[in-house]
């Protein structure tokens, strides 16, 4: 774990940006070390991995789900997840609402937008999202609450492109805010920025950055995931 990086990232966050420490593939011991420095928000992208870590780690950790979520796996995280960053379809949001109802809770969610050039990344475009928000069925979802949006920039060293994509996400946020959430003070989050691009993201208006490798070191995917 790199505590110098952690401290310098925290400094960049100031009071307006929340740091989500992305602990996917990392052992519980790594999470505990950072917990001891006061970090409480951790991000995971696999439902079962998150469930198992949640079971073994302090109960005041806030678990953020940041990966593509399959409908049949929502049940593993629905009882405790703090925020799902990666709602990428109306169908998924409806399923989350169902599982939240079963657990008699309201699950906070962000809508993920596709802003990158890579086809492999998930997310809404603005038109699809508006269709959902205009759908009467959307208003019947009483066990989810939307707190904002999330996006991932293209994986490139071309920082100008990254900056433009984050600006696009900020613009999407403002459009949604003014058209659908104008009197909703809770709709305020823009989750954007990772190890390689969080400084640009913060300049472009990020309120939540998701940082993994810069804090925990490179991930080893050769073991299992
Ligand atoms: C892995 C991951 C991150 C963290 O990436 P790093 O480059 O390691 O900081 C952030 N967001 C999402 C959605 C991820 O899957």
pLDDT in tens, 19-34: 999 999 999 999 999 9
pLDDT in tens, 53-95: 999 999 999 999 999 999 999 999 999 999 999 999 999 999 9
Report d(CA 206, CA 189) in Å as an integer: 8
Give 93's contacts (C-beta < 8 A, 6+ positions apart). 87, 109, 132, 138, 141, 144
pLDDT band at 220, cuts 50/70/90?
confident
Per DSSP, the three-state class of 71 is helix
Averaged confidence pLDDT in the chain: 96
Give this prediction's pTM.
0.97
Which of 203, 197, 194, 218 shows the shortest CA–CA distance to 19? 194
Residue among 5, 19, 66 to mutate when testing ligand 1 (max atoms within 8 A of CB): 66
CB atoms within 10 A of CB 83: 25
Ligand 1 atom nearest to 195, measured from its CA:
9
What number is the average pLDDT over the span 110-125? Answer: 90
Q: Over 80: is that where the pLDDT of 121 sits? A: no
Ligand 1 atom nearest to 45, measured from its CA:
15
CB 99 within 8 A of CB 106: no
Between the CA of 65 and the centroid of ligand 1 the distance, in Å, is: 11
CB atoms within 10 A of CB 146: 21
Phi, psi of 173 (to 5 degrees): -55, -45
The alpha carbon of 21 is separated from its chain's Cα centroid by a whole number of angstroms, namely: 11
Atom 13, ligand 1: residue with shortest CA distance: 66
Ligand 1-lining residues (CB < 6 angstroms): 22, 24, 45, 66-67, 152, 194-196, 210-214
Ligand 1 atom nearest to 86, measured from its CA:
13
Between the CA of 45 and the centroid of ligand 1 the distance, in Å, is: 9
Q: Cα angle at 99 between 98 and 101, to 5 degrees?
A: 65
Residue among 42, 45, 111, 198 to mutate when testing ligand 1 (max atoms within 8 A of CB): 45
């Amino acid at each position: 774990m790199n505590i110098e990086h952690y401290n310098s990232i925290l400094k960049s966050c100031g009071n307006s940006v929340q740091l989500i420490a992305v602990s996917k593939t990392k052992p519980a011991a790594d999470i505990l070390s950072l917990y001891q420095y006061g970090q409480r928000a951790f991000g995971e992208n696999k439902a079962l991995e998150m469930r198992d870590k949640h079971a073994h780690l302090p109960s005041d950790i806030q678990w953020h789900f940041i990966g593509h979520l399959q409908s049949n796996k929502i049940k593993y995280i629905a009882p405790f997840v703090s925020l799902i960053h990666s709602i990428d379809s109306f169908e998924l949001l409806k399923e989350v609402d169902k599982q939240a109802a079963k657990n008699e809770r309201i699950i906070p969610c962000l809508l993920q937008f596709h802003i990158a050039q890579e086809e492999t990344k998930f997310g809404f475009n603005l038109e699809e999202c508006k269709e959902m928000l205009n759908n009467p069925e959307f208003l019947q979802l009483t066990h989810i609450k939307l707190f904002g949006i999330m996006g991932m920039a293209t994986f490139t060293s071309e920082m100008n492109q990254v900056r433009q994509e984050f600006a696009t996400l900020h613009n999407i946020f403002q459009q949604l805010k003014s058209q659908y959430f104008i009197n909703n003070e809770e709709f305020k989050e823009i989750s954007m920025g990772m190890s390689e691009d969080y400084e640009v993201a913060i300049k472009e208006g990020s309120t939540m950055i998701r940082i993994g490798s810069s804090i925990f070191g490179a991930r080893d995917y050769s073991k299992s995931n």
